[in-house]
Amino acid sequence: MKLKGINRIVLFAFLILLTLGSTASARTAVYDGDIEEGEVYQLNNYIIEITDIFPEAGTASYYVYERDKQITTGLLDVNESFEFNFEDEGKIQMRLKSVHTGGVLPRATVEITMSNYNIGDLYVNEVIEKGRSGASFAGDPKLVVTKSVDKSEIEVGDVITVTVNARTTGNDAAYDVLFTDPKQEHFVLKETTYEVSTRIPKIDFGKSMPETLVCIYKLKATEAGTFDLRPVTATYTNSASQTYQSSSNTPTITVNEGNKQRADVETTMNLDLLSVRRNEKITSTVILKNTGNAPAEAVRLEIMVPEGMKYISGDEGIETIGGKPRIYIDTLQPNNDKEFSYTLKAKEVGKYSINSELSYEYSNGVDAQNIKQSDKFTTSSISVEEGRFDFLLKNPLYIVISIVILAAIGVHVYRRHREYKY
């Protein structure tokens, strides 16, 4: 019983190995037909050349080339075969089935098969009647893309010129070449001096071929730091329509801070009085001064009048919108200031502060868009006390009337007294 069990295991293992061996050795038929003496069979960049066909002896010589490089040769009898490595992992086998006459030159009937290779990847698979001289090869274009800059150390706001060139260093031309140059962070595009069309139909190869100019453009630095420019990517094909991709180098640019312009508007809000009676007036003086080195544009100061006070009037340059005062200046130059005064009336007893909101914008000489700034300010606390006659409002009406009558009588008596005195 044990022996039978071992036999079963051995048989099972043998069947697995046989199956695996059959799968590994599975071949795909490529060609089965005649090749005349002097003709060649081309498989991509490989050439099988049949020479010295002797029908009487039943033999034929063969040579195998990868492009112009001979990789193997030999003599076959009918029904003999040979094999050679093909590209990365593939195998090509050719069997000589027969040799015969039948035309001007003798012919050999061959069977060509391949393994470990997808037949769909064959871009050339045919008999070349003109022989090796009629074969054309597809190679690796090896397109080298170079990105160069005229300066590697600059200051914020400075401009560099970027030039992109390309050339093939391989053994085939690059076809249908498309270049992609991504947007550069920390820089803005100022000007494009030269740029090729969307695609270049062909960039040829050879030592004598000059570089192909792809583009020239200028970048303006907007931020300090050390930055690597992003690479240009080229997508292209070789003469067999196989797709390739190359990326350029990435130049390093050091950007120093430099003299970046800035507007800085300072706001001063002064009050002539910090304590007033109800119905009295106070005057506020506003000074807007640009202490920066860039003009401030669209300077706007919104004045928030508190509920217990009322805006009465102000200097020219202060406008009111919906009863709310606002100061607006088109441009406030560096080291310049503007002064404005306005008057408020105290309406209610209490403590108040006058708040304001400042906004403006400026160009720092680097960024494409203006820089926007805003700030908030507030005055010292204002104390509004009762008015001189506010006590009358707190008493009943009959008391107020009595006081008014007595005051009138007092005035009358005083006047008569003066008359009788003289």
User: Which of 112, 69, 116, 109 has its CA nearest to residue 91?
Assistant: 116
> What is the per-residue pLDDT for 227?
97
The CA-based angle 187-188-194, given to 5 degrees, is 110
Q: Residue 322 has what pLDDT?
A: 81
CA distances from 294 to 29, 332, 333 (A): 79, 9, 7
Same fold, 2-134 and 143-256: no
pLDDT value at position 294?
93
**Residue type for position 52:** D
* The predicted structure's pLDDT at residue 50: 92
Q: Going by CATH, does the domain composed of 143-256 fall within 3.40.50.150?
A: no
Radius of gyration, CA atoms only, the chain: 48
pLDDT at 114: 95
As given in the structure block, the two tokens for residue 366 are 């680097």
> What pLDDT sits at residue 103?
74
Domain 265-385: CATH class, spelled out: mainly beta
Give residue 26's pLDDT: 81
* Calpha distance 92→82 (Å, rounded): 8
Task: Output the CA torsion sign for 314, 319, 323, 325.
Answer: negative
Question: What does the pLDDT read at residue 162?
Answer: 97
Q: Where are the domains of the chain?
A: 2-134, 143-256, 265-385, 391-416
Q: Tell me, what's the pLDDT at 364?
A: 84
Please tell me the class of the 2-134 domain: mainly beta
Per-block average pLDDT, block size 10, for the chain (422 residues)? Answer: 47 44 66 93 95 92 94 96 93 96 88 93 91 88 96 92 95 93 92 88 89 94 93 94 94 87 92 91 94 94 92 91 90 95 92 94 84 91 78 55 67 63 51
Could you write out the DSSP letters of every residue in 342-387? Answer: EEEEE-SSEEE--EEEEEEEE--SSSSSPEEEEEEEE---EEEE--
156 with 238: CB under 8 angstroms? no
Distance from C-alpha of 92 to C-alpha of 69, rounded to nearest angstrom: 17
pLDDT score of 11: 47
